[in-house]
Amino acid sequence: MVRQTVLDTAWNLIKNSQLSMASFVEMIALNAATSGGPTMYQTVIRLVFQDEAFELSQDLIATGSAQYPDDG
């Protein structure tokens, strides 16, 4: 639940131009190891893809694939 709340807050900051896409991707990468790993990336990618943030989706896919190459 806490992870989802943090994720939702960060996503709202991006949508309101208060957080850069690069900072969001970095935050996900730093927290993935302790918050679900590849599953966290899947959740985040679904969230941003649903809002048609395709460039951010691609950045997350690339970062997640590099961080978890055996899970892609």
- Give per-residue pLDDT as tens, 32-53: 888 888 988 898 899 888 888 8
Q: Tell me which residue of 48, 67, 70, 69 sits closest to 57, measured CA to CA.
A: 48
Q: Tell me which residue of 69, 65, 64, 68 sits closest to 26, measured CA to CA.
A: 64
CB within 8 Å of 35: residues ≥ 6 apart: 3
CB within 8 Å of 17: residues ≥ 6 apart: none
Residue 64: its pLDDT value, please?
93
pLDDT digit string (tens) for 53-72? 899 999 999 999 999 998 76
Query: The whole model's pTM is what?
Result: 0.82
Q: Cα separation of 34 and 7, whole Å?
A: 14
